[in-house]
Amino acid sequence: MAAETSVGVQSVGRAFHLLHLMSEAGGQMSISELAAASGLPLPTIHRIIRTLTESGHVRQNASRQYTLGPRLVGLGESASRMLAAGSQPDLRELADVAGETANMALYDGDRAVYVAQVPSHHSMRMFTELGRRVHLHATGVGKALLSQMPDSAVRRIMTSTGMPAMTDRTITDLDVLLQVLAEIRERGHAVDDGEHEFGVRCVAVPVPDAPTLTAISVSGPESRLTAEVMERVVPLLRATATAVAKRFA
């Protein structure tokens, strides 16, 4: 019995490992890519993927690659609500200290979805409807999410979603976006300088080791969220991201 239990637990662990690898790769991988990334034998991967496909947690597309399946959506939505609720105190402290609106967004379906927000105390403040889905290339949280992916996944997502111009500052060239993402990975934070909405500025950071790709941001009118203020806010964001990550542990 102990041996059977051990094997069962090992299979569960391997199944989650494969799902995480697919998520980190942008949600889609082939069997050979899974084998190379996981180091597991092909027969083992075939067996696990077949089980996950039958349960709806993975599906095979027309190109015979495997993608994250629809059964994960409900799990993700439930987890998002719990994570957002648990992180509310951290966002509230961030908004109080930074003096501007604090936001949390997750990667979902090739978009960034806002799951938590604490508005600033200013009469003129940023407000985003919870559950709102936005393009990744044009927002601070979106670029912070993309910076956690390999360039191959970014290319796939941008090819699928396109890169529409929200303002005249929006990045609409994929090569330019990839260069910006390389800079974000190096410095550790992303900036939306009126790229999604005129007059609105946002600075965002990834949340490390989150169960799903997550980012937090501070947003406000560009008249208040100046370069000097953003320089002060970035360390606050990083400290908050670390605090949020600990809640995930």
State percent of the chain over pLDDT 70: 89
pLDDT confidence of residue 125: 52
pLDDT confidence of residue 217: 96
Sign of the Cα torsion 160, 165, 170, 172 reads positive
pTM to 2 decimal places: 0.71
Q: Where are the alpha helices (DSSP H) in 115-225?
A: 140-146, 151-161, 174-187
Dihedral Cα 28, 32, 36, 40, nearest 10 deg: 100
Evaluate whether 15 touches 48 at the Cβ level (below 8 Å).
yes
Number of neighbouring beta carbons within 10 Å of residue 25: 18
User: Locate tokens 């597991």: which residue?
Assistant: 40
Residues 6+ apart with CB under 8 A from 185: 147
CA dist 11 and 75 (Å) reads 20
Residues 6+ apart with CB under 8 A from 154: 26, 146, 174, 177, 178, 181
CA distances from 115 to 9, 57, 79, 201 (A): 32, 22, 11, 19
Q: Which residue has the higher pLDDT, 40 or 119?
A: 40
Q: What is the pLDDT of residues 14-62, one digit of tens each?
A: 988 898 888 778 778 899 999 999 999 999 999 999 999 998 889 888 8
pLDDT confidence of residue 75: 72
